[in-house]
A and B are shown apart, each in its own frame.
Chain A
Amino acid sequence: MTGPTVEDLLRELTPQVLGALVRRQGHFEGCEDAVQEAVLAAAVQWPDSGVPENPRGWLVTVASRRLIDQIRSDHARRERESATAFEAAADDVPGTDDTLVLLFLCCHPTLTPASQTALTLRAVGGLTTAEIARAFLVPEATMAARISRAKQQIRAAGRSFSLPAGAEREERLGVVLHVLYLIFNEGYTASSGRELDRVDLAQEAIRLARMVHAQLPEDGEVTGLLALMLLTHARREARTTAAGDLVPLDEQDRARWDRTLIDEGTGLAKASLAGPALGPYQLQAAIAATHADAVSAAATNWRQVHALYLILERIAPNPMVTLNRAVALAETEGPQAGLALLSTLDGDERVAGHYRLLSVRAHLLEQAGDPAGAYALYRRAAKSTASLAEQRYLESRARRVRPGSNR
């Protein structure tokens, strides 16, 4: 099977070719279209004719021609590309990687997160619009419009094709990492079942995070994010039953966790903590690594989990972090301590009525021996979520503590 190999190669080369073209020609919008066409031509031709000796040069040349055609003439010139290998353009420096610059461009702060993720997946990830649309469960026309608008906005922003410097670079890198994090999460939340023709967004996010990590190996947050993704992804098989029902962390069959991913993620998490600064992704990775380290939920080092959430709460205050800290606190100090911490969130409109707050409180009430209170809150939580899987899980919890049930 040469298919997957050619596809992997093309996906890897797409951002490099696009980067090289944008660097030379400016004009992101036109370049992006031209590169997509060149990649399509390669996907059709290479499996038959073989991969050219310099695949990157081939793509740059073909894409450049497409671009020149586009610029020269509005009538689409139906010139078919021959299968012969083209020579790399003279000014094309092999090995130069503009992937990072391209990623910064696609995650431009003037775009909405939805546009940033879509454009990143297409221009850097090398996915087709149809694949992205399917992954996000929207029609192709909707996704095509979104990507096209994003490209126009980037043109309007008129940024030069270079890495931002200084404080802006830090800030922009933060946006890039957030976009990769969103893509990763979408891989979990959007998929109720695993459909074969859908791109695995979690895998794709990991691939992109690896690319960024290869470019910025010293950055603690980049390393932390990659570690967090790997450690989360390691639990994937244990996270749902065959029927698609959610299995909470404390009930997961840890033998089904992927040890290879855990080892790699744990190594990266440790390495990232050795750096000078400490960021939210590093801390979340450290928490995930602590869970991965325990043979069972009971054997978890909850004190360490709690301490890490406490630091996370200080550097990046967020009610969801407090919520998670309450779970850890309940494990070390008892459910009442967790409930007391939760009550500090009652006035916070970011989480008031959110199903996560309701379900965690229900869980702690259950532990505290108040099944009637837990039942009512599990039911309310089930009504408050828009996720079918979460709803099924919360309803099953409610059934378990229903007053009068024999359990």
Chain B
Amino acid sequence: MQFLIALHINPAVLDALTDEEKAALGQGHGAFIEGLKASGELIVTQALADPSQAAVVSVRNGQPVVTDGPFLESKEYLGGFYLIDCENKARAIELAAQIPDAAINGLGVEVRQVMFSDGQLEA
């Protein structure tokens, strides 16, 4: 089964971390990625650029309209994700709990099952 583990981040929460805490966060993700790679459960992981760089695109009367900034007016943004292939939902949750964000108040780790895939599988 494939799951997307979405990492919802709050820039204010991240900024408030000490340097040591930030370093530990990075190392935690590094170790998590290595573990997932070794077990053959990682499909891909990506981290996204800051939401201030986002552009929201809509088409009105056939014309594209571009607005700078994120779509959601929220303190939290999608910061990145892990796409994994694992045994079942229980395992996905077990893995999600290993992500350092899960232990930090104000950061969200959300597990969603994948329903349709195409395109990236010939890697």
Contact = CB atoms under 8 A, between A and B. Distances in A.
A163 interface: no
Interface residues of A, number: 26
A139 B37 contact: no
B115 A138 contact: no
Contacts of A118: 40
A24 to B, nearest CB: 29
Interface string B80-102: 00000111000000000000000
Contacts of B87: 112-114
Contact of B85 (A134, A136, A140): A136
A67 B123 CA distance: 29
A149 B85 contact: no
Given A145-B38, A149-B39, A138 B85 contact: yes
A138 B121 contact: yes
B9 to A, nearest CB: 26
Given A136-B85, A138-B85, A388 B116 contact: yes
Interface string B47-76: 000000000000000000000000000000
Interface residues of B, number: 22
Contact of A137 (B44, B113, B121): B121
Contacts of B122: 139
A386 B115 contact: yes
B40 A146 contact: yes
B104 interface: no
Interface of A is mostly: helix
Contacts of A386: 1, 113-115
Contacts of B37: 145
B116 A142 contact: no
Contacts of A136: 85
A143 interface: yes
B29 to A, nearest CB: 18
B12 to A, nearest CB: 34
A382 to B, nearest CB: 12
Interface string A107-132: 00000111100100000000000000
22 contacts: A114-B85, A114-B86, A115-B40, A133-B121, A136-B85, A137-B117, A138-B43, A138-B121, A139-B43, A139-B123, A142-B42, A142-B85, A144-B40, A145-B40, A146-B39, A146-B40, A146-B41, A149-B38, A192-B116, A386-B1, A386-B113, A387-B115
Interface of A: 112-115, 118, 133-134, 136-149, 192, 386-388, 391
